[in-house]
Amino acid sequence: MAANGKYELKLGAATREAFGNALLELGKENPNVVVCDADLAKSTFTHLFQKSFPERFFSCGIAEANMVSIGAGLAASGKIAFVASFSAFVLNKGFEQLRVTVAYPKVNLKVVGTHSGISIGEDGPSQMSVEDIGLACSLAGFTVISPADEVSCFALVKAAAYLDSPVFIRAGRVKVATIYTADQNFEIGKSIQLTDGKDLTIIAHGMMVAEALKAVDVLAAEGIAVRVIDMHTIKPVDRDAIAKAAAETGAIVVTEEHFTATGLGVRVAQVVAETNPCVMEFHGMGDFYAESGTPEQVLTKFHMNAEAVAATARRAMKRKK
């Protein structure tokens, strides 16, 4: 964080790259770590692990469902097993296996989905995963994590490796702004409050955390003081932080690069309803799929930017008043 208390938000690496670097370090630290990939090692950055530890890397071909079952078997035998592919593939194609071979028997498998959301751009809607958070959260016993930048992704992947729970980690394709410094502490299940404000809270995950921080300045110019919370762990969600924000600011906006009907917003709304009911607005993808284009074109057209988040916040403030 800069000396003036504002985040500089300089462009850093993609979270998929941070995942690959964390995996490589885990491989060096612990010979029990193994990795399965579905013919996308260069894209998911598991090729870094593959190059250093080929005997612990299993290429499963274009067969995500089979990969999940292989990973589950390795995890059940006591390995710290990671499986990785695009989110659209590993969650959609592997869902039955995730349910039957991982969630039901409570197998300690780590599942990483890269190229999440609509920011993959030119790959198009067939590979834009806007259902993955909803699918992962529906799996009983799963921990679900969506890091905001390379620093948080690196730290949370390493923490997830030693968590006694099946885990889904959501990563993206494009480079994103770096929010955190290397000395930031991350705890699975505990959100991070980035700014304080009395008027409204914006809760975000993934790349939308940076957009929420940019929206703070836009709204500050209008006299609106905004609290921003990085809800990097979506399940189990940080109930205390949500209840506190609802009580203290009286209005919450949840923004995410995901369907609003099944994402983080639904989980936040449940906590708000159970604790301190307040005005809420939801900013994300509606009941439709995006289109192919450059990441910038797609994100602008479908309102995944600070200006659109600020507009949603204004609606919440109008209802609050």
CA 153 – CA 175 distance, rounded (Å): 13
61-75: pLDDT as tens digits: 999 999 999 999 999
209-239: pLDDT as tens digits: 999 999 999 999 999 999 999 999 999 999 9
The set of residues, in sequence order, having a beta carbon less than 8 Å from that of 140 and lying 6+ positions away, is 103, 104
Q: What is the pLDDT of residue 151?
A: 98
CA 173 – CA 87 distance, rounded (Å): 11
Taking 60 as the threshold, does the pLDDT of residue 3 lie above it?
no
Residue type (1 letter), 318: K
86-142: pLDDT as tens digits: 999 999 999 999 999 999 999 999 999 999 999 999 999 999 999 999 999 999 999
**pLDDT tier for residue 299 given thresholds of 50, 70 and 90:** very high
CA 248 – CA 251 distance, rounded (Å): 9
Alpha carbon 246 to chain centroid distance? 22
Domains in the chain: ranges and CATH: 10-178 (3.40.50.970), 192-320 (3.40.50.920)
274-287: pLDDT as tens digits: 999 999 999 999 99
Q: Provide the terminal-to-terminal Cα distance of the chain, rounded to the nearest Å.
A: 32
11-46: pLDDT as tens digits: 999 999 999 999 999 999 999 999 999 999 999 999
Q: What is the pLDDT of residue 8?
A: 79
Q: Which of 17, 64, 150, 281 is catalytic?
A: 64
**pLDDT tier for residue 4 given thresholds of 50, 70 and 90:** very low
Angle at 301 between CA 295 and CA 305, to 5 degrees: 75
Q: What are phi and psi of 232, to 5 degrees?
A: -65, -30
Q: Span 66-85, mean pLDDT?
A: 98
Alpha carbon 305 to chain centroid distance? 16
Q: What is the pLDDT of residue 321?
A: 84
Asked if residue 242 lies in contact with residue 272, where contact means CB atoms within 8 angstroms, the answer is yes
Taking 70 as the threshold, does the pLDDT of residue 273 lie above it?
yes
Taking 90 as the threshold, does the pLDDT of residue 167 lie above it?
yes
CA 111 – CA 87 distance, rounded (Å): 9
Q: What is the pLDDT of residue 222?
A: 96
Q: Is 64 a catalytic residue?
A: yes
DSSP for 201-251 reads EEEE-TTHHHHHHHHHHHHHTTT--EEEEE--EEES--HHHHHHHHHHHSE
In the chain, the percentage of residues whose pLDDT exceeds 90 is 97
Choice among 118-127, 144-153, 184-193, 275-284 with the minimum mean pLDDT = 118-127
Q: What is the pLDDT of residue 59?
A: 96
Q: Span 55-84, mean pLDDT?
A: 97
Taking 80 as the threshold, does the pLDDT of residue 5 lie above it?
no
301: enclosing H helix or E strand: helix 295-301
**pLDDT tier for residue 7 given thresholds of 50, 70 and 90:** confident
The mean pLDDT of the chain is: 96
